Structure 1
Amino acid sequence: MSRQRFHAILWSLHMSDPKEDEENDRKRNTAEYDRLFKIKPLYTEITAACKAHFQPHQNISIDERMVASKARISLKQYMKNKPTKWGYKLFVLADSSTAYTWNFFVYTGKSEFLSGQGLSYTSVVDLLPFPLLGGGYTLFVDNFYTSPALFGDLFAKNIGCCGTIRKNRVGFPQTELNDLPKKAERGDMRWIRRSKLLFIKWMDSREVTMCSTVHAAFSGQTVRRNVKRAGVWQTKIVTVPDAVVDYNRSMGGVDVSDALIGYYSVLRKTMKWYKTFFYHFLDIAVVNSFILHKELHKMRVDPGMTNPHTQKSFREQLSAELRGDVPAAPPPLPPSSQVCMPAYYGEDATKHRRYCRRCSEAGNKTVKTPIYCTKCLIPLCLTSKKNCFKAWHTSD
């Protein structure tokens, strides 16, 4: 594809009907105006596809995701604790074990959340379509979402919850009798149980407060910590609540998904805000497909099966298939003959190449050749400057 053709396609990229866009623009500053109208067709299709092709495992997590942008638009948000501090904010529900993005929505501003429960409560409920998702899950969230009201309501719908909690949250027990001492040692903990809600304070390098509806307070688990004593670093075994262990193990689903997207993101500079979302939706689709590829690979029990694709090779294969120029598989090797003779793997010597056996054994594992031995059935170099074919058959 030429550069001009690529830019012509890029300039024409649009996800909605321009005439309908004009009608929506006339509704600006009214309640009927849809700020996400230009991305709605693909937006709804991607979220529906994410839910349709995978059912999450038991542990799920919810967190924010930032899509980098420097656009001067009111949709852009700032989050100081994120690696990408400026951009569009998405609320994402991901599977904890695979990092599959199962549901998400774009944050458009506080004016969209007028339920009276607050953004943290409403965003979690919106990401959990109970008729479709079902019950029996354990949800892990950070202290932005955790509240006794939310955890109690989700427990009534058969969804357990665990997360860090802010001590000034409404419903958090304010008691000095069961509080940690001012100079608490690492591993010290206190807890209070109110009905199905368990509140825990645990001292690590700093105080950690947790709330859970699915854990016991303590079952004897320990962790290793490096402690400096008399100027010498030592390893110390400290006790740890069950909720902290499971939280650290299962909370990172969205972060892992962000990392997988960031390795090979298709995001590119653009002057149109809706194109930024187009690139990100494409990233979500590709990474989710890659995760499904790995999950399907695990389900197969063929011991002779090859390893699954890496994300790079998966994207390369996907790109080739979308272009429609996937090279044909090398033809099957002919049956062994009685005489060692050189032959080509295919008609096109530039496509059908394999690593030379002799060069690989000599330590140079990057040399490929289109020639193989018809009797030994191994690839060997045969050029005017290098004759591994002869050297292989004449060596002792």
Structure 2
Amino acid sequence: MVRTRRSGRVEPDTKEQVCSDDTQPSQVKDADQPKDCKMVKQRRTRCRGRVELEKEQVCSEDAQSSQVKDADQPDEDDHDTDELDEEASSESSTEGEDGSRPSKRHRRSSAQAAQPTQSWRTEEDSDEAPPELAFHPARTPGAQMSSADTHTPLDLFKLFFTEEAVKTLCDNTNKQVAIHVAKGAKYKWTNIGVSEMYKFMGLIFYMSVIKLDHVTAYWRQNSIFCVPFPATVMARERCRCIAGNIKMSDPHKDQENDKKSGTPEHDSLFQARPLLDTIRNACKALYHPHKNLAMHDRVSGSNHFRLFVLADAGNGYIVDLAVFTGKHSRHMGRKVSCDAVLSLVDHSVLGSGYHVYMDIFFTSPKLFRALHGRNMGACGMHSYGIKNCPRSISNALTKSSGRGAIRWIRDGPLLFVKWMDAGEVCVCSTIHSAYAGDTVQRTVRSRKGASTTKTYPCPSPVVDYHKHMGGVGVSEPLSQDFATQHRNGDWSRKLFFHFLDMAARNACIIYNELVTQRQQTPLSYKAFLKELTVQLCEVSNKRTHHKQVSSDHVPVPVDKSPDARRQPTQGCVLCTKNKGKRHLTAWKCKGCDVALCLQFNRNCFEEWHKPT
């Protein structure tokens, strides 16, 4: 070894020297650099070497793991709470004797080895349907009342909204308004009673049948498109004030419940609890469902609450429901939906042998096995990524598979079916065979634009699923054409209007079943709502040729003042609109709540109420 005097750098001997003449200038240049610069450069070189070595190790591990991992095995669904618990328990059981955990690659490969893959079968392969479940309902399916008794639409509606429940609703609403007035709200309020509350419900149903742009449009009188009926029942501001302050629970007890937030004693549904329990008990007591049930998931527009609805798949009668609010309605795992279904499909209340059809939100193999253990069948669409579903690529559907292609795998009582329609459809069932010769028709357009109808084979679970879940007006009772909709208000008031829809629809179903047993003509839901509105508002449905005049449409002072010499005035709305001039007046219409001129030479009050 030779050491230089100038830099103290050690150079190799002639035997160990491998550098060429081209590298010698760079060595001389390095020797001229300060010692600190050389050390920094050496550290950078060592860091780059370590990074490159780590990249090579990662690439080699990925290459090995890609060979071990099956190409058709996607990652598990992170949203399934119960599945995560199962994975955690399985991983903890694979720990070594020294307490160390195996690598992620080893855990994944061992989990895949525990699930043997099967090859998908086609419609040409025979599949034996599971044994038919014996149907033993707890009560005789249908309305639980005698058809010999005559029931009006109002009588049946009051079985859900009883006078006792409405009395509680009125008391809580009056308390809510009193709290707002104490805080400075300027309400012209008189306590509401049971009769007036029923009239308010009748107006809500009237608005659900006759659609207008805004609530105030129902009291507009200066248009050829005006509807005179609402003004004969209730003043506009009175109706809006009731709708904005409707309260199902005691507002004073609400504050006590809010103080328990974060504790087990807190009830997240306290604001809806009184009426919710009444509606649920009435739904279960007045009607017993038939064999086929449908499970639906409904989310409010603002995600403030979520409804799980169990309905009779034949007519849409709501048998039971569950409500979730707050963060539980927005982020809900598979375990919560599974528990909700098992709580609603109670065999002690319903009986055994029922077939439950459900949408993609509820379907899971774990739930279907639990229902099968209760002697209840299940069928529903599912997503590709849920746990314990076959993911084999052997003979699976591909993008090039033709329309009508069928693939299926049976795992004990569970049948997994894939069908190619416009896209891939995945269905799971415990009550069907894979294919029983059913067909569907689809309209296909040629390249030239001509439309032709073609027939394709369809699996049995898909046929029955669309039969019991796809009927508009039957399987979706909360999204009808005549559903009551109010955009303003918190989640409890929105839920109140949902309860009105449920009570009206269930009452209509019971009414039609009773009149059918008496061999009479049933009513459509729209005709039933019209008759219910007439009875709630205590008016006659017969058409009269004379104009109905309400006692509310009378001139009253704009505002009462203790000084009779100085009466308050407002601008006349008709003069401002038609003439573009602002004329002050001391009079207004009591029903319309608008200022109108009432003078010898200018009678805007008469002009405003004149039919046009």
Structure-1-length-normalised TM-score:
0.70
Count residues in correspondence.
313
What code does the residue aligned with 1:275 have?
Answer: R
- Does structure 2 retain, via aligned residues, the 8 Å contact 1:201–1:207? yes
In the other structure, the counterpart of 1:15 is 248
SS of match in other structure, 2:321? strand
1:190 equivalent to 2:407? Answer: yes
1:267 equivalent to 2:485? Answer: yes
In the other structure, the counterpart of 1:235 is 453
- Does structure 2 retain, via aligned residues, the 8 Å contact 1:200–1:209? yes
Q: Which runs of 4+ in 1 moved over 4 A?
A: 7-12, 109-117, 257-261, 348-351
How far 1:195 moved relative to its partner? Answer: 0.9
Q: Report 1:360-375 matches (<5 A).
A: none
In the other structure, the counterpart of 2:323 is 106
Listed one character per residue, the Cα deviations across residues 331-369 of structure 1 (whole Å, up to 9, x for unaligned) are xxxxxxxxxxxxxxxxx9879xxxxxxxxxxxxxxxxxx
SS of match in other structure, 2:352? coil
1:158 equivalent to 2:375? Answer: yes
SS of match in other structure, 1:24? helix
Cα separation, 1, equivalents of 2:526 and 2:333:
45
1:45 equivalent to 2:278? Answer: yes
In the other structure, the counterpart of 1:321 is 535
1:277 equivalent to 2:510? Answer: no
Question: 1:286 pairs with 477, 483, 504, which one?
Answer: 504
Q: Superposition RMSD on alpha carbons, in Å?
A: 3.1
- Does structure 1 retain, via aligned residues, the 8 Å contact 2:478–2:501? no
% identity of equivalent residues: 39
| Structure 2 CA distance for partners of 1:9 and 1:240, relative to 1, 3 Å | closer
| Structure 2 CA distance for partners of 1:33 and 1:113, relative to 1, 3 Å | farther
How far 1:299 moved relative to its partner? Answer: 2.1
| Structure 2 CA distance for partners of 1:91 and 1:254, relative to 1, 3 Å | farther
- Does structure 2 retain, via aligned residues, the 8 Å contact 1:96–1:253? no
Higher strand share: 1
SS of match in other structure, 1:38? coil
| Structure 2 CA distance for partners of 1:252 and 1:93, relative to 1, 3 Å | farther
SS of match in other structure, 1:118? helix
In the other structure, the counterpart of 1:91 is 308
| Structure 2 CA distance for partners of 1:131 and 1:246, relative to 1, 3 Å | same
In the other structure, the counterpart of 1:55 is 288
What code does the residue aligned with 1:42 have?
Answer: L
| Structure 2 CA distance for partners of 1:8 and 1:252, relative to 1, 3 Å | same
How far 1:236 moved relative to its partner? Answer: 1.8
How far 1:287 moved relative to its partner? Answer: 1.3
SS of match in other structure, 1:103? strand
- Does structure 2 retain, via aligned residues, the 8 Å contact 1:99–1:253? no
What code does the residue aligned with 2:387 have?
Answer: V
Cα separation, 2, equivalents of 1:162 and 1:185:
25
- Does structure 2 retain, via aligned residues, the 8 Å contact 1:57–1:95? yes
| Structure 2 CA distance for partners of 1:201 and 1:12, relative to 1, 3 Å | closer
How far 1:172 moved relative to its partner? Answer: 0.9
Cα separation, 1, equivalents of 2:243 and 2:409:
58
Cα separation, 1, equivalents of 2:369 and 2:404:
28
How far 1:97 moved relative to its partner? Answer: 1.3
How far 1:43 moved relative to its partner? Answer: 0.8
What code does the residue aligned with 1:35 have?
Answer: S
| Structure 2 CA distance for partners of 1:115 and 1:129, relative to 1, 3 Å | farther
Cα separation, 2, equivalents of 1:176 and 1:280:
45
Gaps of 5+ in 1: 69-75, 78-86, 330-347, 352-396
Listed one character per residue, the Cα deviations across residues 288-331 of structure 1 (whole Å, up to 9, x for unaligned) are 11122222232223xxx4x322323322322332344457x9xx
What code does the residue aligned with 2:533 have?
Answer: S
In the other structure, the counterpart of 2:299 is 66
What code does the residue aligned with 1:145 have?
Answer: F
| Structure 2 CA distance for partners of 1:216 and 1:273, relative to 1, 3 Å | closer
In the other structure, the counterpart of 2:420 is 203
1:122 equivalent to 2:339? Answer: yes
Cα separation, 1, equivalents of 2:434 and 2:415:
7
In the other structure, the counterpart of 2:575 is none
- Does structure 1 retain, via aligned residues, the 8 Å contact 2:314–2:474? no
In the other structure, the counterpart of 1:308 is 522
- Does structure 2 retain, via aligned residues, the 8 Å contact 1:61–1:253? no
Cα separation, 1, equivalents of 2:437 and 2:360:
25
Name which one, 1 or 2, has greater alpha-carbon Rg: 2
What code does the residue aligned with 1:2 have?
Answer: A
146-155 vs 198-207, which moves further: 198-207
How far 1:122 moved relative to its partner? Answer: 1.9
In the other structure, the counterpart of 1:137 is 354
How far 1:259 moved relative to its partner? Answer: 5.9
The structure showing larger relative contact order (alpha-carbon pairs under 8 Å, at least 6 residues apart) is 2
How far 1:174 moved relative to its partner? Answer: 2.2
SS of match in other structure, 1:308? coil
Structure-2-length-normalised TM-score:
0.47
254-263 vs 219-228, which moves further: 254-263
- Does structure 2 retain, via aligned residues, the 8 Å contact 1:188–1:202? yes
How far 1:284 moved relative to its partner? Answer: 0.9
How far 1:181 moved relative to its partner? Answer: 4.6
What code does the residue aligned with 1:288 have?
Answer: N
SS of match in other structure, 1:263? coil
Gaps of 5+ in 2: 1-233, 548-612
Higher helix share: 2
Question: 2:438 pairs with 221, 235, 246, which one?
Answer: 221
- Does structure 2 retain, via aligned residues, the 8 Å contact 1:140–1:250? yes
Question: 2:263 pairs with 16, 27, 30, which one?
Answer: 30
| Structure 2 CA distance for partners of 1:254 and 1:34, relative to 1, 3 Å | farther
| Structure 2 CA distance for partners of 1:116 and 1:204, relative to 1, 3 Å | closer
In the other structure, the counterpart of 1:380 is none
Cα separation, 2, equivalents of 1:91 and 1:175:
33
In the other structure, the counterpart of 1:388 is none
How far 1:164 moved relative to its partner? Answer: 1.4
- Does structure 2 retain, via aligned residues, the 8 Å contact 1:139–1:160? yes
- Does structure 2 retain, via aligned residues, the 8 Å contact 1:15–1:38? yes
- Does structure 1 retain, via aligned residues, the 8 Å contact 2:478–2:498? no
